A and B are shown apart, each in its own frame.
Chain A
Amino acid sequence: MKTRKEITINKLKGLGQTIVEDVTQNKVPSLNVPSRGTSNIVYDENKRHYVLGERYGKRSLGNVKQIKKIGQMVYMANFCKQLVEREKTATLRELYYVSEGWDVEFGTQDESNIVGEDLEVTLGMTREDLGLMPEEDGASVYGDLTIKEDDLEINALRSGKSGYTISPTINEVEFVDHDVKRVIAVETMGMFHRMVQESAYKKFDTLIVGLKGQAARATRRFLKRVNDELNLPVYICNDGDPWGFHIAQVIISGSAKLAHVNHDLATPDAKFLGVTASDIINYDLPTDPLKDIDVLRLKELLKDPRYRDEAWKTEIKKMLKIGKKAEQQSFSKYGLEYVVDTYFPEKLEKLE
């Protein structure tokens, strides 16, 4: 079986070969780039995440408007091939600066990011496969998980109080050993530290993942891998508002924008633990009133196919009805330990 590296290199090489072959046969080369417009993103009920539809956009060498784009893709493919061959990575920002030396330079970084996505969808590879990294690091992980980054063995229990930081190259990381039964991901680092201090990792035999808001691609890839490869159930605990709901949902069902890589990023079996609207009522949490924008967003979520199951619908409607939202940290109304001593055990019991 070929390694991911070999597959990537072959696919990149293939892109060049298609073009050269067309020219040899006196044909005007063109590439079919799967369209990423909203109308070409469909929710796949079987895979339980968003996938790209059948529509393609053409990038032809014979079209004035497309020739530059096709050129940029070829240049970028060459750059990525060199990265992969040398087992290096570059950030999207670095890529943008490198492209200044090309004959088909980009106007803005947004432009180069988009061509990067074009290359991803055309080849069916993730940008991490291509050696391209985002700027930001992924989430923090705390708990008894041993991994290997190149030759370095790291235990996430002994990486300091802020835990192990998921690197953008998470794909290359090998899971060596673990002694946990589950994974709990929380939205804020505040909650992450609370759980570390209250030894939640011991109490629940869990990995604690601090998402830092919307989960980065590397974080989602990590959650997917621990779920797939280590068979660990994943629970997500966020703020009780539409934004918290959606952070969880993107981890579960993938984002619409990255439909082409959702098969590597979505964790359909991950479960949303809370804070739900029912929690707000049952635990009598301190709340804030919903703002107009919250109401609008909740109504949008109701129409989103990812929220089609009844449990979600009920919670969203309930929140709209009570007109209130609550933060994760609001449990401290009952003492700092309450969330770990009472809330988590009760909720986990219900879900398991």
Chain B
Amino acid sequence: MEIQAGELFEEFQELTASEFFRKNKQMLGFSGKIRSLTIVFHELITNSFDAAEEAGMLPEIKIDLKRLDKDHYILRHTDNGPGIPENFVTKVFCTMFAGSKFRNIQSRGQQGLGCSGCVLLSQMTTGKPAKIISGYKEKGELKGVQMTLKMDVKKNQGLVLDKKVVEVKHTGVCLELHFKDVSYSLSEQGAFEYIRRTMIANPHAKIVFRDPTGHKYIFKRASDVIPPLPKEVLPHPRGVTADDLIFMAKHTDKRRFRSLLTSSLSRMSTKRVNEIQKLTGIDLNKRPKDMKWEEAEQIVDLFAKMDFMAPPTSGLIPIGEAQIEKGIVGILNPEFVSAISRKPVTYRGGVAFIIEAGIAYGGDSGRMVGDQRKAEIMRFANRVPLTFDQGSCAITEGLKSIDWKRYGIRDMESAPITIFVNIVSTQVPYLSTGKQSVAPEPEILHEVRQTAMTVARKLQKYLRAKKAEKEEAMRSKIFEEYVPVILKEAALLAETDVPEYQPVLAKVTRRALAELLGEPIDED
């Protein structure tokens, strides 16, 4: 019997974002037990950092991870941020795609999925509600509210099970979530390593972490400088698509398309707009809403051929050389460290980015494998550690293409070295939704290489000096050993007394040192 279309569509329904992600949690990064927990840490920590920095505070986080049973954990995450006003709490934690970061701005998180995603995972795996205490200031007054929430997945909104006013000592959010099907691990992909790396890229933060065994780790602040807030920058013409233009046209309050172009895109002068009008023959004085898709496509095609100034870089805030070095010293306590922040450049012609790299040698640098330290690569995007999918990442590829032997590192694999690379951009070109690896754009690969080679040269210089120092010690030992016996023998040969040789011994030792350092040698 033939089924009619109407019957088929009886089942037709609309999926809310929450429902969609409930079925596709891997798209939030929740795949695998270890990775799921690391992603939870990532989402909560980045949110806390962003919140504190936006409020002009030095971030301080307390994380308490308790294990109730195999694979069953309770996570308590407390920050010192500005907190969330009562009427926004359910939105933040229970509604997906609700957030403040949909702008063209350099930020850690981007999609407004973080907190609600964690609540979703908790609810999916344990059925337990989320407990939240928010301390915030309202009209100069410190207020506290405690809520127990569940997520109504069908409606993509929060369900308040319990709510009461509580007393708080300071602003900030305390979130308590149950998780099952996750696993705490000390591996490179695990939550602990995530915190450690986070601290390197964020030396202005403080994290106190109590692990499931009850051990308390205190990651102290290595710097008191709050990173300046990145400014929102207008997208560069080369970075927009026809769809972007149509979207802008729909949501603008401008009356003419030409003024939309100049006000929504960077590097777009009136002269350029006139040029576009002339070359495309499109009347740019029409209302934005009248812009047709074909016309938008035509304009975008033209953008690719036109000469624009490179995009503004004021929106990019690098960690900075000094801060990277502080972060590395704080966590790795290395024998040698050097960091560098390159000048901003662009990829795909229109997206500005900065590559920063640091290199650490000795101390706790490198990863312990068995009883030997091996080189490790720490990848970051906008200060956020990238711990998964390292194989295809531009950072890994760029570093692997360097001939490390040229920098005095004979066996890169088994050297006690940590290489830190951070990419800073308003649009980091991630390879997948998990946002764990950077697309190997040629410009990014080039910058990674150049940056890493610069710090490698500094390390090489240090290693050389160290070797020379060792040699120097050996050399003076040779003199101290040989000079007395040779002169005793020479005196025997000359049938005289052994002469006073200390001044000569001092002289040859000094001279050998000068020779070693390539300084001019004082002749007799």
Contacts and interface: CB of A to CB of B under 8 A. Distances in A.
A24 interface: yes
A266 to B, nearest CB: 31
Contact of B511 (A28, A74, A77): A28
B229 to A, nearest CB: 58
Interface in B487-511: 487, 489-496, 499-501, 503-504, 507-508, 511
A62 B475 CA distance: 10
A28 B482 contact: no
Given A13-B495, A61-B483, A27 B489 contact: no
B486 A62 contact: no
A23 B493 contact: no
Interface in B453-491: 475, 478-479, 481-483, 485-487, 489-491
Q: Which of B481, B487, B495, B512 has most chain A Cβ within 10 Å?
A: B487
B524 A12 contact: no
Given A62-B507, A62-B511, A64-B512, A15 B493 contact: yes
A70 interface: yes
Contacts of B501: 23
Nearest to B479: A67
A67 B482 contact: yes
Interface residues on B, range: 20 to 34
Given A20-B499, A26-B504, A67-B482, A13 B511 contact: no
Contact of A23 (B478, B485, B495, B499): B499
B109 to A, nearest CB: 60
Nearest to A70: B486
A229 interface: no
Contacts of A81: 493
A200 B391 CA distance: 91
Q: Which of A24, A74, A103 has most chain B Cβ within 10 Å?
A: A74
A345 interface: no
A103 B494 CA distance: 19
Contacts of A43: none
Interface residues of A, number: 29
A23 B524 contact: no
Interface string A93-121: 00000000001100000000000000000
Contact of B482 (A15, A20, A104): A104
Contact of A27 (B479, B493, B524): B524
A314 interface: no
Interface string A204-235: 00000000000000000000000000000000
B524 A28 contact: yes
Contacts of A71: 482, 485-486, 489
Contact of A61 (B494, B496, B500, B508): B508
A211 to B, nearest CB: 38
A67 B478 contact: yes
Q: Which of B475, B489, B491, B524 has most chain A Cβ within 10 Å?
A: B489
A27 B507 CA distance: 9
A104 B491 contact: no
Contacts of B485: 71, 103-104
B496 to A, nearest CB: 6
Interface in A265-323: none
A74 B492 CA distance: 10
A74 B512 contact: no
B504 A17 contact: no
Given A67-B486, A103-B482, A17 B524 contact: no
A78 B492 contact: yes
Contacts of B494: 13, 16-17, 19-20
Interface string B325-355: 0000000000000000000000000000000
A68 interface: yes
Contacts of B503: 26
Interface string A63-91: 11001101100110110010000000000
Contacts of B507: 26, 28, 62
Interface string B195-238: 00000000000000000000000000000000000000000000
Contacts of A24: 499-500
Given A16-B496, A29-B504, A64-B512, 8 more contacts: A16-B489, A26-B503, A27-B504, A28-B511, A64-B475, A71-B482, A81-B493, A104-B482
25 contacts: A15-B493, A16-B491, A19-B486, A19-B487, A20-B487, A20-B494, A23-B487, A26-B503, A26-B504, A28-B511, A61-B483, A61-B504, A62-B508, A62-B512, A67-B478, A67-B482, A67-B486, A71-B485, A74-B490, A74-B493, A75-B489, A78-B492, A103-B482, A104-B482, A104-B485
Q: Lowest 9 A-B CB distances belong to which pairs?
A: A16-B493, A16-B494, A62-B508, A19-B490, A17-B494, A71-B486, A103-B485, A23-B499, A16-B490
